[in-house]
A and B are shown apart, each in its own frame.
Chain A
Amino acid sequence: MASLSPIQKRRLRNFRNNRRGFWSLWLFLALFGLSLVAELIANDAPLMVSYQGDLYFPVVESVPEETFGGFLPSEADYRDPFIAEEIRANGWMLWPPIRFSYDTINYDLDVPSPAPPSAENWLGTDDQGRDVAARVIYGFRISVLFGLTLTIASCIVGVAVGAIQGFYGGKIDLLGQRFIEIWSGLPVLYLLIILSSIVQPNFWWLLGIMLLFSWMGLVDVVRAEFLRARNFEYVRAARALGLGNRKIMFRHILPNAMVATLTFMPFILTGAITGLTSLDFLGFGLPSGSPSLGELIAQGKANLHAPWLGISAFVSLSVMLTLLVFVGEAVRDAFDPRKN
């Protein structure tokens, strides 16, 4: 069913009325959508190759070097002058706008790396000769994906825990609160440092570890909302209608708690992104070599004479976080029943 109920229409209208948030959403979605297909924008392999009348799509398939008259059975390096020359002589190549992937090292720099912005490297290169523009695009994607996953996961856990504590109250609430007090007292950073010495933290490890501590942010708000609402008359009315606990929690109390949750969500999202960025900055984050804004900031700090590093990281981070906060504001407006 594609048709919206009048209520949903009104929410949509409220959302649209917040022009800033509305446009921020589109801008963010456009940026996020583009970054999802980062392989087509910034890659060290061409999008399409025509060689001796055959068509190849190196972005999605692995073509051995032998195909293009090379000697190795491994994947072709299209930036290799020999291969490039060979293909150009027998056909053509369609390159993405940025001819570097996040881990492509530009060996043809005229200046020592980090190289300043040029026609080839739009935002310059970092101190290992990798293209900053490509790394920003991939880093944006990984930051947003990480942030979204962490936010959704911690919202689910936090809302569930808060709801149970607030709804049942009593001993469950008491024990839950004491547990949270102890748990939030643990030093997260040290734990991460210790853990990263035991395992090589990857995306999922980091997500898991950060989730262990980030779910607590929402518990207090949701719990307070449930504690308040469970004695409301309409909750009592719902019970008199014969609704079960779960339905009462979901349908009658949760919508109240959702506004608080939604108001917090952009902050949790930005918090998750900055969390990942700062871990990367400190060197305890994603494995080395992965594209990350935090690592870019660290490079910017280490190479103060190359301001394009720091500026690129700063601008991309602040644009992303600002857009998210604006979107969050509009979402909150949309769910406010007192706004007409």
Chain B
Amino acid sequence: MSKLLEISDLSIHFDNNEPVVDGLSIDINRGETLALVGESGSGKSVSALSILRLLDERHAHYPSGQIHFQGEDMLKGSDKRLRQIRGHRIGMIFQEPMTSLNPLHTVEKQVSETLALHKGLRGPQARERCIELLELVGIPSPETRLSSYPHQLSGGQKQRVMIAMALANEPELLIADEPTTALDVTVQRQVLELLRNLQQELGMAILLITHDLSIVHRYADRVAVMERGKLVELAPKEQLFTAPEHPYTQRLLDAEPPASPLSLDRSDQPLLEVDNLDVRFATKKSLFGRTVRYFHAVRETSFTLARGETLGIVGESGSGKTTIGHALLKLTGATGSIRLDGVELAHLDQKQFRPYRSRVQIVFQDPFGSLSPRMSVAEIVREGLEIHAPASPGNQDRKVIQALLDVGLDPDARHRYPHEFSGGQRQRIAIARALVLQPEVIILDEPTSALDRTVQKQVINLLRDIQARYQLSYIFISHDLSVVRSLSHKLLVLQHGKVVEYGNATDIFHSPQQGYTQELLSAALFYQKPTTN
């Protein structure tokens, strides 16, 4: 059987830097799904883009290698020949559905563009084919959707339109570059199921690029693992998951967070009690400043949190989970009651609330955005101390060093700027900033979702260690259920700002009561390392 795509000894480097991809050799058979797995910076997206020669060739060079697509070397192909292949015989789906559709064009125009280009279909014929394609990717009432603009579609629908565009000419190979990373879990599942069904229907091969092993486990036939530009292992799925050969693959498989939280002796005395929390944003104001229309972000949410306990808040994007975190810290206005150690905080203004801030801290999602780029690590970590514990600078310095040690960072690094650190290290700095104030509650707003799998595990282990050492309470906000499971004792499931289910985490994970929770859990695609040893 001839290979559909054969990449041999491919090396890519940008300008005169180190090679980004180094001696990569993979092949794809007709009709199969090859997953290309690796952490960020491992060169998987660059390899995928090079198949269609989509890299900026003013900077990218190919010192060695061939990319044979049905016997034709893509690296030697002329621009004209490449344009005939792109979108016609090889389709591509990109990661970010928000930015990969042109916001000024209707769905019909976007989809029919490639039809006109490669098949010469125009007018009613093209329209017919568009409708057919949208039906194929499962967009309801496609006739009415043809004239929609991208901003009128949801994230999942946009990704479906992207898929429709990629499939328009029935390509033999579909390159899907992290097709679901930007989507919610339930939508992610729908999109992946759709891709699998279409694959069977059309008999195309899929090159699936992802960092998510649970997706690989479910949808791939063979898996190629890349580390720093090199292929470390290429094996059929079963073999790779049961008997990984390369240490890096083993580490990657091991990086799955632990399945249950630390069992701590928790006190029953609630530390934080939240009653009927309600957050509304004005979306439209009248001429005289009176609010006419609201967006109800959080509705009547109540929960309690004991010392040393973790409350996981899960929900899809837009469900209001981040807003709850902000409301607890008075970063956004809210009504309802918030009691910390029995003291009512809800009616306090910013100034009155300030003394309590040291007791409730927050760690944000984006480790690149949450650290002031123009302050050194020491300045960042020390800042809170200056407000809450204005003591001698020597004493502050000692506390800063202790906090950095607590999060596993070298204290000598404190005079450097955040941009010199990796994502995981930055998140540690952010945790140190919260920790230095010796808070009782830390709100963790998606602290791991911007991190690679192996780094994610390190951060989770760190959080567990700190919790055990300092008897901290966490409010853990995340959309990633496998991470939530490894930390949370209690779980709060949110949908559209409303609590769907609230209770003991193990109970909910084992026997969810509500339909939405069941759907969420079944879509989360837990991949568990076979517990053979």
Chain A positions within 8 Å of B, measured between CB atoms, are 5-7, 232-234, 236-244, 251-252, 255-256, 335, 337-338
**Residue pair B372, A241 in contact (C-beta under 8 Å):** no
Q: How far, in Å, is A225 (CB) from chain B's closest CB?
A: 12
Residues of A within 8 A of B371 (CB): 234, 237
Residues of A within 8 A of B387 (CB): 241-243
B457 is an interface residue with CB less than 8 A from chain A: no
**Residue pair B362, A237 in contact (C-beta under 8 Å):** yes
**Residue pair A242, B415 in contact (C-beta under 8 Å):** no
Q: How far, in Å, is A54 (CB) from chain B's closest CB?
A: 57
Interface bits B363-387 vs A (CB < 8 Å: 1, else 0): 0111001111111100000011001
Q: A7 vs B350: C-alpha distance in the bound complex, in angstroms?
A: 33
Q: Which 3 A-B pairs have the closest CB atoms?
A: A242-B357, A233-B370, A6-B415
Q: A5 vs B379: C-alpha distance in the bound complex, in angstroms?
A: 11
**Residue pair A242, B388 in contact (C-beta under 8 Å):** yes
Residues of A within 8 A of B357 (CB): 240-242
Residues of A within 8 A of B430 (CB): 237
**Residue pair A236, B415 in contact (C-beta under 8 Å):** no
**Residue pair A242, B384 in contact (C-beta under 8 Å):** yes
Q: A6 vs B375: C-alpha distance in the bound complex, in angstroms?
A: 12
Residues of B within 8 A of A236 (CB): 326, 331, 364, 370
B358 is an interface residue with CB less than 8 A from chain A: yes
**Residue pair A237, B354 in contact (C-beta under 8 Å):** no
**Residue pair B370, A234 in contact (C-beta under 8 Å):** yes
**Residue pair A7, B331 in contact (C-beta under 8 Å):** no
Q: A240 vs B325: C-alpha distance in the bound complex, in angstroms?
A: 11
B329 is an interface residue with CB less than 8 A from chain A: yes
8 contacts across the A-B interface (CB closer than 8 A): A233-B364, A234-B369, A240-B361, A241-B384, A241-B387, A244-B350, A256-B374, A338-B419
B219 is an interface residue with CB less than 8 A from chain A: no
B437 is an interface residue with CB less than 8 A from chain A: yes
B433 is an interface residue with CB less than 8 A from chain A: yes
Nearest residue (CB) in A for B374 is A255
**Residue pair B372, A234 in contact (C-beta under 8 Å):** yes
Q: How far, in Å, is A250 (CB) from chain B's closest CB?
A: 12
Nearest residue (CB) in A for B371 is A234
Residues of A within 8 A of B365 (CB): 233
**Residue pair A255, B375 in contact (C-beta under 8 Å):** yes
Chain B positions within 8 Å of A, measured between CB atoms, are 326, 329, 331, 350-351, 354-355, 357-358, 361-362, 364-366, 369-376, 383-384, 387-388, 415-417, 419, 430, 433, 437
Q: How far, in Å, is A268 (CB) from chain B's closest CB?
A: 22
Q: How far, in Å, is A71 (CB) from chain B's closest CB?
A: 68
Nearest residue (CB) in B for A232 is B369
Known contacts A233-B370, A237-B362, A241-B383; 5 further A-B pairs (Cβ under 8 A): A233-B369, A241-B433, A252-B372, A337-B374, A337-B417
Q: A236 vs B326: C-alpha distance in the bound complex, in angstroms?
A: 9
Q: How far, in Å, is A18 (CB) from chain B's closest CB?
A: 19
**Residue pair B364, A242 in contact (C-beta under 8 Å):** no
Nearest residue (CB) in B for A229 is B372
Q: A232 vs B372: C-alpha distance in the bound complex, in angstroms?
A: 9
Q: A236 vs B445: C-alpha distance in the bound complex, in angstroms?
A: 12
**Residue pair A233, B383 in contact (C-beta under 8 Å):** no
Nearest residue (CB) in B for A234 is B372
Residues of A within 8 A of B366 (CB): 233
**Residue pair B433, A337 in contact (C-beta under 8 Å):** no
Residues of A within 8 A of B417 (CB): 7, 337
**Residue pair B383, A243 in contact (C-beta under 8 Å):** yes
**Residue pair A7, B376 in contact (C-beta under 8 Å):** yes
Determine which residue in A5, A241, A243 has the highest number of CB atoms from chain B within 10 A of its CB, and name it.
A241
With A7-B415, A242-B387, A243-B387 known as contacts, the answer to whether A237 contacts B374 (CB < 8 A) is no
Residues of A within 8 A of B374 (CB): 255-256, 335, 337
**Residue pair A240, B329 in contact (C-beta under 8 Å):** yes
**Residue pair B433, A237 in contact (C-beta under 8 Å):** yes
Q: A242 vs B436: C-alpha distance in the bound complex, in angstroms?
A: 14
**Residue pair A242, B358 in contact (C-beta under 8 Å):** yes
Contact among B362, B369, B376, B415 for A240, CB-based, below 8 A: B362
Residues of A within 8 A of B416 (CB): 6
Residues of A within 8 A of B364 (CB): 233, 236-237
Residues of A within 8 A of B355 (CB): 242
Q: A255 vs B418: C-alpha distance in the bound complex, in angstroms?
A: 15
Residues of A within 8 A of B329 (CB): 239-240
Residues of B within 8 A of A237 (CB): 362, 364, 370-371, 430, 433
Q: A240 vs B353: C-alpha distance in the bound complex, in angstroms?
A: 10
Determine which residue in A234, A239, A251 has the highest number of CB atoms from chain B within 10 A of its CB, and name it.
A234
Q: A233 vs B364: C-alpha distance in the bound complex, in angstroms?
A: 7
Residues of B within 8 A of A239 (CB): 329, 331
Determine which residue in A237, A255, A335 has the highest number of CB atoms from chain B within 10 A of its CB, and name it.
A237
Q: How far, in Å, is A132 (CB) from chain B's closest CB?
A: 46
Residues of B within 8 A of A244 (CB): 350-351, 354
Contact among B361, B372, B419 for A255, CB-based, below 8 A: B372
Residues of A within 8 A of B372 (CB): 234, 238, 251-252, 255
Q: How far, in Å, is A45 (CB) from chain B's closest CB?
A: 51
Q: A252 vs B369: C-alpha distance in the bound complex, in angstroms?
A: 12
Residues of A within 8 A of B326 (CB): 236
Q: How far, in Å, is B187 (CB) from chain A's closest CB?
A: 25
Q: A340 vs B362: C-alpha distance in the bound complex, in angstroms?
A: 31
Q: A211 vs B364: C-alpha distance in the bound complex, in angstroms?
A: 43
Residues of B within 8 A of A5 (CB): 376, 415
Q: How far, in Å, is B272 (CB) from chain A's closest CB?
A: 15
**Residue pair B383, A238 in contact (C-beta under 8 Å):** yes
Nearest residue (CB) in B for A242 is B357
Q: A251 vs B365: C-alpha distance in the bound complex, in angstroms?
A: 22
Q: How far, in Å, is B396 (CB) from chain A's closest CB?
A: 14
**Residue pair A241, B437 in contact (C-beta under 8 Å):** yes
Residues of B within 8 A of A252 (CB): 372, 375
Residues of B within 8 A of A6 (CB): 376, 415-416
Q: A239 vs B351: C-alpha distance in the bound complex, in angstroms?
A: 11
Q: A225 vs B160: C-alpha distance in the bound complex, in angstroms?
A: 37
Residues of B within 8 A of A234 (CB): 369-372
Q: A237 vs B430: C-alpha distance in the bound complex, in angstroms?
A: 9
Q: How far, in Å, is A339 (CB) from chain B's closest CB?
A: 11
With A233-B364, A233-B366, A241-B437 known as contacts, the answer to whether A337 contacts B384 (CB < 8 A) is no
Residues of A within 8 A of B376 (CB): 5-7
Q: A300 vs B326: C-alpha distance in the bound complex, in angstroms?
A: 67
Residues of A within 8 A of B361 (CB): 240-241
With A233-B366, A240-B362 known as contacts, the answer to whether A337 contacts B373 (CB < 8 A) is yes
Q: A234 vs B383: C-alpha distance in the bound complex, in angstroms?
A: 12
Q: A240 vs B362: C-alpha distance in the bound complex, in angstroms?
A: 7
Determine which residue in A242, A243, A335 has the highest number of CB atoms from chain B within 10 A of its CB, and name it.
A242
Q: A238 vs B382: C-alpha distance in the bound complex, in angstroms?
A: 11
Q: A243 vs B375: C-alpha distance in the bound complex, in angstroms?
A: 15
Residues of A within 8 A of B384 (CB): 241-242
Nearest residue (CB) in A for B370 is A233
Q: How far, in Å, is B94 (CB) from chain A's closest CB?
A: 25
Determine which residue in A236, A244, A335, A338 has the highest number of CB atoms from chain B within 10 A of its CB, and name it.
A236
Q: A293 vs B277: C-alpha distance in the bound complex, in angstroms?
A: 68
